[in-house]
Chain A
Amino acid sequence: VKPPTVRLSINGQSRELAAVPPDERLLDTIRWRVGLKGTKEGCRTGECGACTVLREGKGALSCLVLTHDADGATITTIEGVGSDPVGAQVRTAFETAGALQCGYCTPGFVMALTGLLRERGRGAPIEELLEDLGGNLCRCTGYSTIVRAARSAREALP
Chain B
Amino acid sequence: VSATSRPDGATKLAGAATYGEDVELPGMLWGALVMSPVPHGRLRSVDLAPARALPGVIAISAPDVPSLVDGRQGDPDRPPFPPDHVTYLHQPIAAVAAPSRPLARAAARSVRVTVDPLPVASDLDALFPEWPESKIDDPSRVAAHVLARRGDVERAFREGETIVAETYRTASVHQVALEPHACVADVREGVWRVRTSTQSPFGAREDTASILGLPEASIVVEGTWVGGGFGGKGAAFLEPYALLLSRAAGRPVRLALTYAEEFRLGRTTLPSVIRLETAVSKGEITGRRVRLLLDVGTSLPGRDFATGYSIGFLLGPYRTPAFEVEGYAVRTNKPPFGPHRAPFAPQAVFAVESHLESVARAAQLDPAAFKARHLWREGDRTPFGQRVLPFGLPSALESARATATRWRKDAPAGRGVGIGLGFWSTSTGAGGEARVTLTPTALVVVQGEREIGSGSVVVGLAQVVARRSGLPMEAIRIEHRDTAGAPFDAGVFGSRTVGALGRAIDEAVVQILHRLGDRVTPPGPVTLEFRDGHVMVVHGALRRPLAELLSPTEAAEGGLSAEGKHYGQGGEIDESLVRDGAFYPYTDFTGAAHVAEVEVDRETGSIRVRRYAAFHDAGVVLDLPSARAQIEGGVAMGLGAALTEEAIWSDDGRLENAGLVDYRIPTLGEIPPIEVHFIEGYPGAGPFGAKGLGEPPIIPVPATIAAAVRDACGAHVTELPLSPDRVAQDLKLR
A residues apposed to B, CB below 8 Å: 21, 23, 28, 31-32, 35-45, 47-48, 50, 77-79, 82, 91, 94-98, 100-107, 110, 130-131, 133-134, 136-147
Shortest beta-carbon distance from A136 to chain B in Å: 7
Complex-state Cα separation, A103 to B20, whole angstroms: 13
Residue B686, interface by CB 8 Å: no
Residue B14, interface by CB 8 Å: yes
Residue B408, interface by CB 8 Å: no
B interface SS class: loop
Residue B73, interface by CB 8 Å: no
Shortest beta-carbon distance from A131 to chain B in Å: 6
Residue B635, interface by CB 8 Å: yes
Assess the B15–A39 pair: CB atoms within 8 A: yes
CB-CB < 8 A to A137: which residues of B?
Answer: 178, 660, 665, 667
Contacts known (A37-B22, A142-B632, A142-B674); A136 close to B668, Cβ less than 8 A: yes
Contacts known (A102-B227, A142-B674); A91 close to B13, Cβ less than 8 A: yes
Stretch in contact with the other chain, from B278-286, B433-441, B447-455, B559-567? B447-455
Cβ 8 A contact of B635, one of A28, A37, A142 = A142
What are 25 A-B interface contacts by the 8 Å CB criterion? A39-B15, A43-B660, A45-B660, A79-B16, A94-B9, A95-B13, A96-B5, A100-B13, A101-B454, A102-B228, A102-B452, A103-B13, A103-B227, A103-B453, A104-B227, A104-B228, A106-B13, A131-B669, A133-B668, A137-B667, A139-B177, A143-B668, A145-B4, A145-B629, A146-B668
With both beta carbons as reference points, the residue of chain A lying nearest to B667 in the complex is identified as A134
Cβ 8 A contact of A102, one of B5, B22, B178, B671 = B178
Residue B53, interface by CB 8 Å: no
Q: Closest 5 CB pairs between A and B? A: A38-B15, A142-B636, A102-B453, A104-B227, A103-B12
Assess the B178–A104 pair: CB atoms within 8 A: yes
CB-CB < 8 A to A38: which residues of B?
Answer: 14-16
With both beta carbons as reference points, the residue of chain B lying nearest to A47 in the complex is identified as B660
Given contacts A98-B2, A103-B17, 15 further A-B contacts (CB under 8 A): A41-B180, A42-B259, A44-B259, A48-B660, A82-B14, A100-B9, A101-B629, A102-B229, A104-B19, A104-B177, A105-B178, A142-B634, A142-B636, A142-B674, A143-B666
CB-CB < 8 A to A105: which residues of B?
Answer: 178
Assess the A140–B453 pair: CB atoms within 8 A: yes
Cβ 8 A contact of B225, one of A78, A95, A97, A103 = A103
Residue B37, interface by CB 8 Å: no
Total A-B residue contacts, Cβ distance less than 8 Å: 160
Assess the A102–B226 pair: CB atoms within 8 A: yes
With both beta carbons as reference points, the residue of chain B lying nearest to A100 in the complex is identified as B12
CB-CB < 8 A to B230: which residues of A?
Answer: 139
Complex-state Cα separation, A91 to B17, whole angstroms: 15
Assess the A97–B665 pair: CB atoms within 8 A: no
CB-CB < 8 A to B228: which residues of A?
Answer: 102, 104, 139-140
Shortest beta-carbon distance from A64 to chain B in Å: 14
Cβ 8 A contact of A139, one of B176, B258, B632 = B176
* Proximity bits, B224-237, A CB within 8 Å = 1, else 0: 01111110000000
Shortest beta-carbon distance from B8 to chain A in Å: 7
In this complex, the member of A35, A36, A97, A140 whose beta carbon has the largest number of chain B beta carbons within 10 angstroms is A140
Assess the A134–B668 pair: CB atoms within 8 A: yes
* Proximity bits, B1-38, A CB within 8 Å = 1, else 0: 01011101110111111110110100000000000000
CB-CB < 8 A to B668: which residues of A?
Answer: 130, 133-134, 136, 138, 143, 146-147
Contacts known (A43-B259, A143-B671, A144-B671); A98 close to B629, Cβ less than 8 A: yes
Complex-state Cα separation, A82 to B666, whole angstroms: 29
With both beta carbons as reference points, the residue of chain A lying nearest to B451 in the complex is identified as A102
Complex-state Cα separation, A4 to B225, whole angstroms: 37
CB-CB < 8 A to B665: which residues of A?
Answer: 137, 139
Cβ 8 A contact of B633, one of A42, A106, A142 = A142
Residue B101, interface by CB 8 Å: yes
Complex-state Cα separation, A134 to B667, whole angstroms: 6
Residue B517, interface by CB 8 Å: no
Complex-state Cα separation, A134 to B660, whole angstroms: 13
CB-CB < 8 A to B452: which residues of A?
Answer: 102
CB-CB < 8 A to B666: which residues of A?
Answer: 142-143
